Structure 1
C-alpha cells in the first residue's frame, strides 16, 4: 500500500475516534445534568467553560502547528483529550465538572486544528476532493458513539466505566497510529498574523463557520435534552443519533454534491435545510416531525465546516494551519454563544422557543455566503483586468 493511502487511513481513524469521544460525552449530558441536579441555566454556565477554553487554545494551536510537524500537537492533544474524557464521569461537583471540561475542550481544540491542517495538506496531494469524507468519518464516529451510549444506558451501565473504556481505546490507538501520520508538513511561510488589517477572505469564512457552529454545537449539547423534555421520548439519545446519522450521510456525499452544484449553491441549501428542520421540530414537537426536522438540520450543517476549511487552505495570506486557527476562532465564539444562550433562553421562556436561535443562525448562512462569493467574483474580475493590462 502506498504511503499516501496509509496516511489517509490513519488520519481518518483520528477523525473517527474524535467523533466517537465527543459523542460519548455529549450523549451523557442529560445523565450529568440529572446526577448533579443542574437546571438549564446552571448547565449552560458550565458548558460555557468549553468555548472559553477553546478560545484560549486557538493562539496556542496556531503557534504549535507553525512550530512543529502537525502530528505532534495532534497526538499530544488527543492523548490529553482522552484522559480528560475519563475524568468527566468522575466529576462529583459542578466546579469539578467545569475544570475537567476546560481541559477536555482545550486539548480538543489543539487536536482539531492540527488534524484539520493535516487533512488540508493531504487533500492537496489528491486529484479528487477527500476533505468531506474525513468529516463524514467524524460524524460516523459520533453516530457509533451515540449508539454505543444508548446501548449502555438501556443496560444501566454507569457512566464512569463507559467513559474510561473509551479513553483507553483512544490512547492505545494514538500510540499505534502516530508513526503513520503526515510528516515534515510544517509551514515556512504565511505564519505571521496581521490583526491591524483583517483579511476579508478569512472574515467571511469565519462568519460562515460562526453561524454553523451556533447550530452544530447547540445540537450536540441540547438535542438529547430537547427529545427528553419537549418530545417526551424516554430514549432521549434518539434525537442526537438522528442528527448525527444524517450529518454523516451528507458529509460522505458532500464532495460529490459540491462538484456537481458548486459551493455557493451548497451553502444556500445548507441554510434552507437548517431553518426548515428547526422550525419543523418547533412547530410540531412530536416524535416523527422532530425526527424529520433533526434529519434536515443534520443535512444542513454537514457541509459547511468541511467546505469552509477547504476554502481556508486556499488563502493567499496565511498558511493552512494559521488560516484554520483563525477561522476556528469564529467557530469557538459560535459555540461560546450558542449552547449557553439556549440554556438561558430555555430557563427564561422554554426549550422549544429557545431553538428559534438555531433557525435564525442557519438562515443567515444564505446572505453571508452570497456576499462571500460575490466578493470572490469581483476580485477575480479585477485580477483578470489587471492581467490583461500588464500583457
Structure 2
C-alpha cells in the first residue's frame, strides 16, 4: 500500500508542476505569438473550458476503467501535451495546446483525487491533505524551475524538452505501480463505504449532499483563486508596493497553505473534518480581514499567510467527504471537483469586474463572505 501512496503523491506533484510550468511561461508565450492581452485572456479560457470537459468525462472513465488507470492516462496526456503550448508560435497552435493540456489536466484532477480517496480509506486515517500538499510543492517546484529557465534565457525548445522529460519520468514511475495495482472490482468495493440499509442515504439525500459539497468547493477555491491572482496586485494598488516586496504577499499565502496541508491530516485525525474546516474558516476570515484593514506590508504578509493557513485543510476535506459519501460514484466526485474548479476560475474574474465599481481592497470582502458561508455550512463535511 505504501508504494501506491507514493505513486499517488507522484501524480499530485506532477499535476502541480505542469500547471505552474505553463503559468510561468505565459508572458513568453504571449510575446512569441504576438497576442494582445485581450486575445491571450480569451485563449486562457480555452484551457479552463477544456479542463471542465475533461473533469466531466473523467467520472465515466473511472467508472469503467478505475481511477488508477484513468490517472495514468491523464498523466501520460499531460506529459505529452505540456510541450505544445510551450512551443506555440501562433494563436492556432497555442489554442490547440491549451485545449489538450486543459483536457488532460481535467481528467487527471478527478482521477487523482478519486485514487487518493481510495488510498485514504485503506489507510484508515486522514491523509488527503498530504496529497494536496504535494500538489502545492509541485506548484512551487514548477514555478521555481520556470523562473530559473527564464533567468538563464533557455530557448522554448529546451524548456519544452525539460518539462516534458520531467513529466514523462514521473508519469512512468507512477504508472509502473498504478496500472496493475488495482482492479475495477476492488475500486467499486472501496469507493462506496459499506452501510446498512438504514444508513444508506436516498438518491435525493445523496444528490443534495453532493451539490452542497460542490458549493463548498466552489467557494473555497474561489477564495484561493482570488489570493493567487490578486494578492500581488493588491499590495501594489493598496500599499503602493511593487517588485519582489509585493511578491512576498503571494509567497506568504502559498508557503502557509503548503505547510498547513502537511499538518492538516493530523488535526483531522484528532478533531475530525468538521472542526478542521470550521477552524480553517475562522483563521482564513481573520487573515483576509487583516489584509483588508492593513496599512503596512508586514501586516499584509501576515494576513495572506493566515488566509493560506486557514484554507489549507478545507478543500481536501470537501473532496474526501464527497468520495466517502455512501452510494457516491466517480461522477459525483467529478461534479464536486468541477464546481470547485469553476470557483477558482470565477473568483479572479469576479474581482476584476468589481474593480470597475469599487477599490480592489473592498472587493476582498468577496472571499471574506465566501469563507463565512463555508463556516456556517462546515457540518456538511462530516462523514
- TM-score for the superposition, normalised by structure 2: 0.82
Q: Is structure 2 residue 356 aligned with structure 1 residue 359?
A: no
Once residues 76 and 289 of structure 2 are traced to their aligned partners in structure 1, the CA distance between those partners, rounded to angstroms, is 39
Paired residues for 1:193-272 under 5 Å: 199-223=207-231, 226=234, 231-234=241-244, 238-272=248-282
Aligned to 1:170: 167
Q: Which runs of 5+ in 1 are unaligned?
A: 378-391
Residue-by-residue CA offset, 1:143-182 (whole Å, 9 max, x unaligned): 2223333444444556664354122210122123312114
In the alignment of these two chains, the number of paired residues is 367
Correspondence for 2:76 among 79, 83, 100: 79
Once residues 279 and 95 of structure 1 are traced to their aligned partners in structure 2, the CA distance between those partners, rounded to angstroms, is 43
Once residues 145 and 48 of structure 1 are traced to their aligned partners in structure 2, the CA distance between those partners, rounded to angstroms, is 21
Aligned to 1:61: 58
Once residues 28 and 354 of structure 2 are traced to their aligned partners in structure 1, the CA distance between those partners, rounded to angstroms, is 21
Aligned to 1:305: 315
State the shift of 1:278 in Å: 2.9
Assess if the C-alpha contact under 8 Å between 1:147 and 1:241 holds in 2: no
Once residues 43 and 358 of structure 1 are traced to their aligned partners in structure 2, the CA distance between those partners, rounded to angstroms, is 26
Once residues 115 and 367 of structure 2 are traced to their aligned partners in structure 1, the CA distance between those partners, rounded to angstroms, is 30
Secondary structure at the counterpart of residue 175 of structure 1:
helix
Aligned to 1:338: 347
Once residues 19 and 298 of structure 2 are traced to their aligned partners in structure 1, the CA distance between those partners, rounded to angstroms, is 26
State the shift of 1:10 in Å: 1.7
Assess if the C-alpha contact under 8 Å between 2:58 and 2:334 holds in 1: yes
Residue-by-residue CA offset, 1:46-69 (whole Å, 9 max, x unaligned): 443333223222331011000103
Residue-by-residue CA offset, 1:244-271 (whole Å, 9 max, x unaligned): 2211111110011122332222212222
State the shift of 1:207 in Å: 1.3
Secondary structure at the counterpart of residue 48 of structure 1:
helix
State the shift of 1:38 in Å: 4.6
- TM-score for the superposition, normalised by structure 1: 0.81
State the shift of 1:358 in Å: 2.5
Aligned to 1:125: 122
Distance 1:152 1:93, change over 3 A: same
Q: Which runs of 5+ in 2 are unaligned?
A: 193-201
Once residues 33 and 199 of structure 1 are traced to their aligned partners in structure 2, the CA distance between those partners, rounded to angstroms, is 43
Assess if the C-alpha contact under 8 Å between 1:206 and 1:331 holds in 2: yes
Aligned to 1:6: 3
Once residues 291 and 94 of structure 2 are traced to their aligned partners in structure 1, the CA distance between those partners, rounded to angstroms, is 31
Once residues 164 and 43 of structure 2 are traced to their aligned partners in structure 1, the CA distance between those partners, rounded to angstroms, is 22
Assess if the C-alpha contact under 8 Å between 2:216 and 2:318 holds in 1: yes
Distance 1:227 1:368, change over 3 A: same
Paired residues for 1:102-121 under 5 Å: 102-121=99-118
Aligned to 2:183: 184
State the shift of 1:330 in Å: 1.5
Once residues 34 and 120 of structure 1 are traced to their aligned partners in structure 2, the CA distance between those partners, rounded to angstroms, is 41
Distance 1:215 1:88, change over 3 A: farther
Correspondence for 1:147 among 144, 162, 167: 144
Aligned to 1:386: none
Distance 1:162 1:123, change over 3 A: same
Distance 1:87 1:290, change over 3 A: farther
State the shift of 1:276 in Å: 2.9
Once residues 114 and 83 of structure 1 are traced to their aligned partners in structure 2, the CA distance between those partners, rounded to angstroms, is 18
State the shift of 1:349 in Å: 5.3
Once residues 281 and 43 of structure 1 are traced to their aligned partners in structure 2, the CA distance between those partners, rounded to angstroms, is 30
Correspondence for 2:338 among 314, 322, 329: 329
Aligned to 2:198: none
Once residues 91 and 366 of structure 2 are traced to their aligned partners in structure 1, the CA distance between those partners, rounded to angstroms, is 26
Once residues 354 and 324 of structure 1 are traced to their aligned partners in structure 2, the CA distance between those partners, rounded to angstroms, is 31
